[in-house]
Structure 1
Amino acid sequence: MNNDRTPELLSPAGNWDCARAAVANGADAIFFGLSRFNARLRADNFTDEDLPELMNFLHAHGVKGFVTMNTLIFTSELEDAEVQLRLLERSGVDAIIVQDLGLAMLCRAVAPSIEIHASTQMTITSPEGLEFIDSLYKLDRAVLSRELSLVEINKFNPSECVPLEVFVHGALCVAYSGQCLTSESLGQRSANRGECAQACRMPYELVIDGEIQDMGEKRYLLSPQDLAAVDLVPDLVNQGVVSYKIEGRLKTPEYVAAVTRVYRKAIDDAVAQRDSTITDHERYAMEMTFSRGLSTGWLAGTDHPYLTHGKYGKKRGIRVGTVENCGPGWIVFNQEGNVGLKAGDGIVFDAGENRDLEQGSRIWTVEGTVLNFSNKHCRINWDRIRPGIEIYKTDDPKLNSEVKALWKNAKLEPVKSGLKITVTGSEGTPLSLESNGLTASTSELLQSAENRPLTTDSLTAQLGRLGNTAYSLGSIDNKLEDGLIIPVSALNRTRRALVEKLDQHAEAQPIIDKAISKLTLSDIMPTKPESEPAPAELSTLARHPHQIEAALEAGINRIYADFEDIRRYKEAVEIVRSAGGDATIHLATPRIQKPQETGYFKFIDKAEPDGVLIRNLGAVRYFEDHDGLYRTGDFSLNCANPATAKILKERASLDHLTLSYDLNVQQLIDMLDQAPSEWFELTLHQHMPMFHMEHCVFCTFMSTGTSYKDCGRPCEKHKVQLRDRVGQLHTLAADVGCRNTLFNGRAQTGARFYDEVRATGLSRYRIDFLDEDKESTLLTLQAYQQLIEKKTDGHMLWQDLGIMEKLGVTEGTLEVKS
């Protein structure tokens, strides 16, 4: 461990009360959002007007403030983002947590005093990906993806690389942060824009080979338990991880207080190399304030059923036992564990039923193991309560009051500046006090002392009386001549005069002491040249060999292969090469690359394709010196504005870029109006890849195993779909890393927007296939060829596709919200 990197506890703050709760319970820093550009728009958030007061409050208490600007930034928002960055710098904000590559570069240009922390939304999953991002900005910190284990984190060499931040507590997203398109695809509420609709917390049915499976009480197939890595903190400290992050900007101040308190102890204990001092009661408080069940997430390694048991998706509390016997208004329960029940506590009965229909109540009285309920206030249908049903404690009013006091009644003492005071003077001159370049002197003159002359000890006693000021006495440099004296009252008046000067000087200083950069947004934007648009052309992404064959028959000249089994990539190359002609074959990398997974890239190299479709930052790094290979950046690189495009084109040396799937058609046009159209390709037709997950549904709910090592690979034997609450079926697929993608069951088309987009000069258009047979693939390609050859129009094609596709089509993310 590098001893120069002191571990930091980072707590969430959705509002002022949460900020106070974090500070009162030991946070070293808080993270918070403003009304725009943050991934928790449903939190209360702070206003621009709050910033100076908030930062003064934090800094007065020795706490740092980090602002979340962790969303993608659209072209029309870049100017507003620049304004916000300059405001943050003026307000003394310590760092921004950022997702968008262009925004990070803008921050370096216009607000250079602000630290840049790469958000978990950047999907940093490998040392290679971190190296690439650090080469762009010289990062101050990187927040790693939550899917990494302790072993994988150690591969980053945390004590030596860019300072690392790891989530240690709170809700887990089932999808990789920065790679979830579910809310955008289903409801135009992008998780990359702070509008997540939490589709992962909804119930789903499992459909295997067309048959709906009876899953019993397991309905929440994509809802992980919450993360609680408190017992793994010593391992992370020993590895050299710098920052320990608690999730929860949508949570209460009680949650912030209870959880911060526990992790403060955990970090301090780990640094001191002592046994844990966290009490059982503190752990109980941590879990009761909010949990969906607690787990160590991915940090302890892969155990799919442990992480996502499927039984519930909302706050649950703590299991306390089961029903032994019951009757109207009472139950006898079998207590489990050491968490008891008392009058006033809230409970819920878990009968394995629909969670919207489950029953609960507050306890009226407790008589041993008998719980009685008020006939007046209880709404329980006792005919539905039976022995064996599980009981969860969901609320503890006494604990609530206790935890509220942790922040409500806390006396927050500002951190005082330790003053170094130099004392000078000689007989017949004033006594002078100097600190931080400011001086105050007595009006009285120093005299020879007959007894009790001034000494360093007596000066310390008087000058240390700093009371309610913002200062404490750090040290005295006594340069007085020996044997002198002056009245104590004169010394005290001079001390007060010095403090007043120090205060006036502090108030006169700007919040930051650095000149605002003279660079502007235009300095990082690309230049759009005047040029004639190239002829429109179609490319195809195939996930099966027969789709490649169909693409060749249709005369498609750019073919991307994205096979689950990358060992078949050589077959894809051979199919294209053996066909002769002008077609080129480009192989897709996995969406995610973890430590020690560069073998996937080497496999692509050995297949000798014409190009590679790059889907993650590690692949950007790996292929950046492959000059003979055509490099296309895929949608997962989140290219949503011209500044990001310029970085990926010029710094990552990509030949062209797939436009972000978060853009609607107007946002696409805004971007194409300010960047060279030849840089880009638009996916015009696809089944949107919604969830991309480390969580394996196949392993969890179709095997008795815990990982790919013992699951039996059901993904290779069955067609699996998830059926949502409205009856829509969505296709589930696994990739080479056993990561799951859930694809939207309805195809998305931009056919009706084609003419509008084409008018910008964009010439490349891509058609992605999922599990279509060869005939359907060929018919779809021919239909889009009719469009770009102007033999049909977008509206007619849209109608035809609605007939061709079994479930119809949607305009999905491309449609402009009214």
Structure 2
Amino acid sequence: MNDIELLAPAGSIESLYAAVLNGADAVYLGGSKFSARAYASNFDDENMEKAVDYAHSYGVKIYVTINTLMKENEIDEAVSYARFLYKIGVDAILVQDTGLFKMLKDSIEGVELHASTQLTVHNGEGAKFFKDAGFHRIVLSRELSLKEIEYISKELDIETEIFVHGALCVSYSGQCLMSSMIGGRSGNRGRCAQSCRLPYTLEAQKSKQIHKGYLLSPKDISGYNILKDLLKTGTSSLKIEGRMKRPEYVAGVVSEYRNAIDSLKKNKSIDYIRGDKTLLKLFNREGFSSAFFYKNTGRDMMAYNMPKNSGIKIGTVAKNEVKLTENLSKGDGIRYSNEKGFTVSKILINNNEVIHAQAGDTVKIFPKQYKNGDVLYKTSDNELNSSLKETFSDKYKRKIFLNAKVIFKVGSPLTISTEYNGKEYKAEGKIVENAINKPLSMEKVNDNLLKSVDNPYKFSKINYDFFEDGFLPISAINEVRREILEEINSYEIKKHKRIIKKPAIRQLEPKVKTEEEIYYIAYSKDQLNALLDNNANNVVVDIWSHDLDSITVEDFKIINNINIYIKVPNIIKQEFNSICKIIDNVLPFIKGIYTANVGIVNKYKGKTQLIGDYKLNIMNSKALEFYSDYYNIPVLSEELTRKEIKDICKKVNCDIGYTIYGRTELMINEYCVIGSIAGGKSTNVPCNRACERDKFILIDRMNEKFPVKTDKFCRARIYNSVPLNLIREKEELESFGINKFFIEFTNENYSECENIINWVCSGVEVDDEYTKGHYRRGVE
């Protein structure tokens, strides 16, 4: 069985100690800026270097996340920060922004860059695209199955990393704009407000059936019970999510996975029941799921009733007492009536106060805030947390044991030699004297040489090349022991430090800016007819919709005299080859492809025109330059302000696209809320295809209504409650340098489409509800 990296999170220095001391092979953490967990404690520059040095002294790698999208005025600072990280010895930098990636590749020779899961790599061609671009490792989307992971890792020979435990985003990472558009906190910039953890109502617009709950809140992933299958995929790294979690959580999860992985390597049995219960005690949302590893996309992976830590059930209150199904201790945290809770201050058994109670005991628990019939859950285990805290209370608690060779000879210096990581070390102390009274015994010398110092290394066995009766002050023995162990520690830290070599500057191919054009995107035949009847010149058709009125290939094959583009899904998994067959068949009839799926770009670059939609997340001029090498028309992110758009356009001379009308796609989900809730989609119950008979909306706490559409591959897309409308700003955008404008129709009917076309072409405005998005307000 191949070695596999266990990668742990650290949002604080204590979590770093917890990860390293409990067996992590590598730790990922964030600095004070540019981290996708902006609300974690994170590390300032001083503590960052201490963290790197500490981890390296244990032989543990450090990966630092600079995995947010960069604004134009931030990217130079991010590059400077990356240079600092490279110098202090960080093993790899995790990147989402392709502009930053481009600058780091061009300015730091030898830097190891990992593609963040925010880059939404979910098929083999996409993985090849980013590997060929220069990424060393690809962090795959959480939605992949074991077979898909194995194909990319083994058959394509690409170094991959997958999430094995922790929180699961309901949307494909990097494709979620819900937090951004609703509250101005961008998940792409590490400030997700977790809109998915809020309650929603799913309403069928024809039948008026409704379903309420935390409909977008998934359970956490746990790959603990399927580790044997995960290890067979050939992935290089198993990643634990949790930079916002307490150090005790990190310690517990790392320890359980470390022990299980090591046991599997040695063909030893694993107590999965005990380990799983420990993981549940640390944090769970109505249990765990295996996420998408076995292609599951149903309701059994969701936590519809409880979006926070649900804990483990300890019993039901009857006659003001509880017969425990789990152990209970004073100081434990208890939840009841969903989100109500308290900390146990007293436990009575037969009116006698105890500190601990066992499963099977009937107890009274105080403070008595619950009532008869309430089900109690333990959300915090005081004993478990105390034992886990003990594992990292001393940052050098875990020792790396070494063998020493010693010469203790009168008239010669005390000499200690050892070997570590293939390097020989030798230290000489003071000269051993004749013993005037009582000579030092070998046992006494041993006792002092076997003492610990304040670093990870410790002698566990002493072999004497020569020993004779003599004398040295104990302090002299301690001094030479400390010297050699500190020399080892110093070397292990310093060997990772670097100087920066600047690579040769890559010459950019000159771009030619073409004339201004307007592109219309249609999902339905009704919308397509409105465009044809109103003389649209550039039409992008989506043929993958599940709607009854969806466009087919036959509908556009017969269209002449206008440019037809095909909108290819941004997410394509096992259906990749079948979609390519369709594209191949329609290539003679189309002008190009509209998609943010880089796997499709990897396959069709040079064969047809390529337009990349706003889900490419282009937020700076360097990212625009990066994608302009692959796309004829890259479209800028909808998270930009007018000033940010203007600043980007000043620096790049190429065709630049921007969406000026359309409902923003807030999420794209492998899990279908319609099929799983209204359609009965679960492990055992097939979906009844409700999406083909009705239209659905999600309603939030503010009564905002978000349309939900599905595609032929049973993925759900959630759209903003109102369309983006920057038609009035079109002239201003032209002055900035935007020359390709996109109008996207989603659920508009014929007359609504016609009204928008007239507004764009003739200036006839429509009095309706719209949003300007981030054009004025921007995002955090």
Shorter-normalised TM range = 0.7 to 0.9
In the TM superposition, residue 619 of structure 1 has moved relative to its aligned partner by: 1.2
Kindly indicate whether residue 527 of structure 2 is the aligned counterpart of residue 547 of structure 1: yes
Q: Distance in 2 between matches of 1:596 and 1:579?
A: 27
Structural mapping, 1:409-424, within 5 Å: 411-413=396-398, 415=400
Task: Say whether the 8 Å CA contact 2:663–2:723 is kept in structure 1.
Answer: yes
Q: CA offsets, 1:244-268, max 9 Å, x none?
A: 1111111111111111111111111
Structural mapping, 1:498-647, within 5 Å: 500=483, 512-519=496-503, 523=505, 535-565=515-545, 575-576=555-556, 578-581=558-561, 583-595=562-574, 597-608=576-587, 609-624=590-605, 627-647=606-626
Instruction: Supply the AA of the counterpart residue of 1:545.
Output: K
Identity %: 29
Task: Say whether the 8 Å CA contact 1:616–1:636 is kept in structure 2.
Answer: no
1:757 equivalent in structure 2: 733
Task: Say whether the 8 Å CA contact 1:563–1:569 is kept in structure 2.
Answer: no
2:188 equivalent in structure 1: 192
In the TM superposition, residue 407 of structure 1 has moved relative to its aligned partner by: 2.5
In the TM superposition, residue 151 of structure 1 has moved relative to its aligned partner by: 2.5
Structural mapping, 1:228-307, within 5 Å: 228-277=222-271, 280=274, 282-293=275-286, 294-307=288-301
Q: CA offsets, 1:753-804, max 9 Å, x none?
A: 3333211222110000111111110110110123xxxxx5xxxx7xx44x2x
2:334 equivalent in structure 1: 347
Task: Say whether the 8 Å CA contact 2:402–2:461 is kept in structure 1.
Answer: no
Q: Which runs of 5+ in 2 are unaligned?
A: 351-359, 433-441
1:451 equivalent in structure 2: none
2:714 equivalent in structure 1: 738
Structural mapping, 1:59-458, within 5 Å: 59-139=56-136, 141-158=137-154, 161-209=157-205, 213-215=209-211, 218-277=212-271, 280=274, 282-293=275-286, 294-323=288-317, 325-326=318-319, 330-331=320-321, 338-341=325-328, 345-350=332-337, 362=344, 364-366=347-349, 371-372=363-364, 374=366, 377-380=367-370, 382=371, 387=373, 390-408=375-393, 411-413=396-398, 415=400
In the TM superposition, residue 305 of structure 1 has moved relative to its aligned partner by: 1.3
Q: Distance in 2 between matches of 1:159 and 1:576?
A: 37
Question: Secondary structure at 2:576's aligned position in 1?
Answer: coil
Instruction: Supply the AA of the counterpart residue of 2:285.
Output: R
Instruction: Supply the AA of the counterpart residue of 1:101.
Output: T
Structure 2 CA distance for partners of 1:422 and 1:121, relative to 1, 3 Å: farther
Of 660, 664, 669, the residue aligned with 2:646 is: 669
2:30 equivalent in structure 1: 33
Structure 2 CA distance for partners of 1:612 and 1:240, relative to 1, 3 Å: same
Structure 2 CA distance for partners of 1:619 and 1:496, relative to 1, 3 Å: same
Q: Distance in 1 between matches of 2:489 and 2:393?
A: 30
Q: Which runs of 5+ in 1 are unaligned?
A: 446-456, 787-791
Structure 2 CA distance for partners of 1:89 and 1:544, relative to 1, 3 Å: same
Q: CA offsets, 1:199-235, max 9 Å, x none?
A: 00000011102565453xx510000011111011111
Q: Distance in 2 between matches of 1:308 and 1:465?
A: 53
Structure 2 CA distance for partners of 1:97 and 1:60, relative to 1, 3 Å: same
Q: Which moved more, 1:467-476 or 1:190-199?
A: 467-476
Q: Distance in 1 between matches of 2:490 and 2:253?
A: 35
Q: Distance in 2 between matches of 1:373 and 1:461?
A: 53
Task: Say whether the 8 Å CA contact 2:142–2:163 is kept in structure 1.
Answer: yes
Task: Say whether the 8 Å CA contact 2:315–2:322 is kept in structure 1.
Answer: no
Question: Secondary structure at 2:104's aligned position in 1?
Answer: helix
Task: Say whether the 8 Å CA contact 1:440–1:495 is kept in structure 2.
Answer: no
Question: Secondary structure at 2:15's aligned position in 1?
Answer: helix
Task: Say whether the 8 Å CA contact 2:10–2:16 is kept in structure 1.
Answer: yes
Structure 2 CA distance for partners of 1:370 and 1:463, relative to 1, 3 Å: closer
In the TM superposition, residue 487 of structure 1 has moved relative to its aligned partner by: 8.5
Q: Distance in 2 between matches of 1:463 and 1:401?
A: 32
Kindly indicate whether residue 775 of structure 2 is the aligned counterpart of residue 814 of structure 1: yes
Q: CA offsets, 1:635-694, max 9 Å, x none?
A: 2222222222223222xx321111122322222222111112x33210111101001111
Structure 2 CA distance for partners of 1:243 and 1:576, relative to 1, 3 Å: closer
Instruction: Supply the AA of the counterpart residue of 2:501.
Output: S
Q: CA offsets, 1:692-740, max 9 Å, x none?
A: 1111112211133327992121111110101001001110011122111
Question: Secondary structure at 1:679's aligned position in 2?
Answer: coil
Question: Secondary structure at 1:585's aligned position in 2?
Answer: strand
2:17 equivalent in structure 1: 20
Instruction: Supply the AA of the counterpart residue of 1:412.
Output: K
Question: Secondary structure at 2:152's aligned position in 1?
Answer: coil
Structure 2 CA distance for partners of 1:62 and 1:511, relative to 1, 3 Å: closer
Task: Say whether the 8 Å CA contact 1:666–1:816 is kept in structure 2.
Answer: no
Task: Say whether the 8 Å CA contact 1:442–1:490 is kept in structure 2.
Answer: no
In the TM superposition, residue 394 of structure 1 has moved relative to its aligned partner by: 2.4
In the TM superposition, residue 815 of structure 1 has moved relative to its aligned partner by: 2.5
Q: Distance in 2 between matches of 1:403 and 1:498?
A: 31
The TM-score with structure 1 as length reference comes to: 0.82
Structure 2 CA distance for partners of 1:299 and 1:505, relative to 1, 3 Å: closer
In the TM superposition, residue 433 of structure 1 has moved relative to its aligned partner by: 8.8
In the TM superposition, residue 77 of structure 1 has moved relative to its aligned partner by: 1.4
In the TM superposition, residue 618 of structure 1 has moved relative to its aligned partner by: 1.6
Question: Secondary structure at 1:767's aligned position in 2?
Answer: strand
Task: Say whether the 8 Å CA contact 2:219–2:285 is kept in structure 1.
Answer: yes
Structure 2 CA distance for partners of 1:371 and 1:473, relative to 1, 3 Å: closer
Question: Secondary structure at 1:75's aligned position in 2?
Answer: coil
Instruction: Supply the AA of the counterpart residue of 1:694.
Output: E
Q: Distance in 1 between matches of 2:243 and 2:572?
A: 29
Question: Secondary structure at 1:810's aligned position in 2?
Answer: coil
Task: Say whether the 8 Å CA contact 1:539–1:765 is kept in structure 2.
Answer: yes
Question: Secondary structure at 1:670's aligned position in 2?
Answer: helix
Question: Secondary structure at 2:758's aligned position in 1?
Answer: helix
1:648 equivalent in structure 2: 627
Instruction: Supply the AA of the counterpart residue of 1:611.
Output: G
State how many pairs are aligned. 751
Structure 2 CA distance for partners of 1:397 and 1:628, relative to 1, 3 Å: closer
In the TM superposition, residue 347 of structure 1 has moved relative to its aligned partner by: 3.2
Question: Secondary structure at 2:651's aligned position in 1?
Answer: coil
In the TM superposition, residue 563 of structure 1 has moved relative to its aligned partner by: 3.0
Task: Say whether the 8 Å CA contact 2:313–2:376 is kept in structure 1.
Answer: yes
Instruction: Supply the AA of the counterpart residue of 1:276.
Output: I
Q: CA offsets, 1:615-642, max 9 Å, x none?
A: 2122122212xx3411112222222222
2:681 equivalent in structure 1: 705
1:781 equivalent in structure 2: 757
Instruction: Supply the AA of the counterpart residue of 1:234.
Output: K
In the TM superposition, residue 12 of structure 1 has moved relative to its aligned partner by: 0.9
Task: Say whether the 8 Å CA contact 1:612–1:631 is kept in structure 2.
Answer: yes
Question: Secondary structure at 1:152's aligned position in 2?
Answer: helix
Instruction: Supply the AA of the counterpart residue of 2:300.
Output: Y
Question: Secondary structure at 2:383's aligned position in 1?
Answer: helix
Q: Distance in 2 between matches of 1:219 and 1:569?
A: 30
Q: Distance in 2 between matches of 1:359 and 1:488?
A: 67
The TM-score with structure 2 as length reference comes to: 0.86
Kindly indicate whether residue 745 of structure 2 is the aligned counterpart of residue 769 of structure 1: yes
Question: Secondary structure at 1:239's aligned position in 2?
Answer: coil
Of 636, 647, 669, the residue aligned with 1:659 is: 636
In the TM superposition, residue 577 of structure 1 has moved relative to its aligned partner by: 5.5
Q: What is the RMSD of the two structures over their aligned residues, measured on CA atoms? A: 4.0
